[in-house]
Structure 1
């Protein structure tokens, strides 16, 4: 699927396949094409080339698509500002044709909105407005959730709650989740597969365990005498870099045998106060990839 706006190509031949029950993390810098891709998946825009299918059905004009089975939250949550949280969700329940009148109260509890049920949507904080948007997306118990920045505006506790909710939906109920997010630590903890889009192109797509294997490792060292430690390690033929409050070794020799590094330092009279093998996080890997360093 491709999408152009005049001479500007926003999405360039992106080919995505997401399996049932997956949590797919869709990552990219601002302007990389994430939201354009999501809007095409939801039939909000028409591709310039290629086609889009969701849950096995082609997405097309006049709202064609499996929308009764899809919940979504894209960009800013939509709500009637003069209506309460409960009233907004009640309208959504009726529009979805949900017969169970308890569905509204159930999703209010599920999203932690009980204390705000009678508050007007226009008076909600950014985080609670985001919760309301997620509640609307979940109200009809969809088979597929398409979420653009689902943790936007949430405090740390709210981010954890949404992470746990999405994991439960996928693992216990088989709901497929397609989500973009700039909070890469949350994607790292949640996603079973990750796709990275850069300048409109999908530049990498990997299972979570494959991504884990690609991330660089390093040996981090702290010592009271850092200069002495640096000298001893350099003399032993190891390449040493300065880190935040310590030294970093990237040589596989050091990473695979940290006890030998410790012995070098002890014998040189500069024993380490901390020595640990660490792996770069998803954010560092993502930045290296988008800079062309991978």
Structure 2
């Protein structure tokens, strides 16, 4: 895939204090890039710089192979965004809010308004005033406003913040659909790690204004394969059998407990081999490191290869 957003040594200072520190990130066309970081890590600041709402102190931004300058405007036509809490005309309907936005953007396809309300699941309430909308409906309308002009890039700052589990699920499914059916590139920030894990193709972990890691989710899953925990009658002999037969990485916890990594075989295969060689197996459990655990480990200074 081609690169669609790229920053190089991007930095931002406020009163000589570094807020963003030499961030170099790469977002591929057609992917969902999950921007993870604790509150105050600098996610919103980077998004505002991508949208030219805030000027970098130093570094470079390139979007669709265009180097973004302080006066750059035209490139924004290809970007839809939701930064912080969305503001609407409360006494107007969803349709009228979108019409005003289209007029502001110089977008003249009025049929698009009806279709985009269908895309985000608001077509049945298009004539309802926004002041009567729930938080989830407001987030859907904000995304509708972001995509109504058919942008190629969608930048969303905490779009699931404050939603209930049903609302989160609906927004998650909507974003995946926008990627799969419309080929949109989506940059989404969040501190709710479990939701990013379920939709992101790539994650970037931001901490204290620094990008401490950028990694495809596929690579992360391969690097942190599931661990098999076993309770056996003789841990020492069990380890020897598993290492010799399967070249497994086995750690002895105590005389009866084992932790097994770096093995392709199913737990049932390992169990059968031990039993046939005189080792009783009392318990077998698969342990998987979640992205949340990985994220917490990284921001706390943990070794990414541990």
TM-score, length of structure 1 as denominator length: 0.82
Provide the residue aligned with 2:173 in structure 1.
164
Aligned equivalent of 1:3, options 5, 12, 15: 12
Provide the residue aligned with 1:48 in structure 2.
57
Residue 155 of structure 1 deviates from its aligned partner by 3.4
Moved more, 27-36 or 79-88: 79-88
Instruction: Map 1:84-99; keep pairs closer than 5 Å.
Output: 84-99=93-108
Provide the residue aligned with 1:139 in structure 2.
148
Q: What CA distance in whole angstroms lies between the structure 1 residues aligned with 2:27 and 2:270?
A: 45
Residue 81 of structure 1 deviates from its aligned partner by 2.1
Instruction: Map 1:2-151; keep pairs closer than 5 Å.
Output: 2-62=11-71, 64-151=73-160
3-state SS of 1:2 partner:
strand
Give the number of aligned pairs.
280
Structure 2 unaligned spans of 5+ = 1-9, 240-250
Q: Is the 8 A contact 2:235 2:258 kept in 1?
A: no
Q: Is the 8 A contact 1:143 1:175 kept in 2?
A: yes
Q: Structure 1 residues 82 and 234, CA, compared in 2 at 3 Å: closer, same or farther? A: farther
Q: Is the 8 A contact 1:113 1:128 kept in 2?
A: yes
Q: Is the 8 A contact 1:21 1:174 kept in 2?
A: yes
Q: Is the 8 A contact 2:33 2:200 kept in 1?
A: yes
Per-residue CA distance 1:126-155 (angstroms, 9 max, x = gap) = 221111111100111111111112223333
TM-score, length of structure 2 as denominator length: 0.79
Q: What CA distance in whole angstroms lies between the structure 1 residues aligned with 2:263 and 2:156?
A: 42
Q: Is the 8 A contact 2:25 2:214 kept in 1?
A: no
Residue 280 of structure 1 deviates from its aligned partner by 0.9
1:176 is the counterpart of 2:182: no
Provide the residue aligned with 2:244 in structure 1.
none
Q: What CA distance in whole angstroms lies between the structure 1 residues aligned with 2:259 and 2:225?
A: 8
Q: Please provide the CA RMSD for this pair.
A: 2.9
Structure 1 unaligned spans of 5+ = 222-228, 242-246
Q: What CA distance in whole angstroms lies between the structure 2 residues aligned with 1:76 and 1:278?
A: 38
Residue 234 of structure 1 deviates from its aligned partner by 8.1
Higher strand share: 2
Q: Structure 1 residues 54 and 269, CA, compared in 2 at 3 Å: closer, same or farther? A: closer
1:199 is the counterpart of 2:204: no
Residue 160 of structure 1 deviates from its aligned partner by 3.1
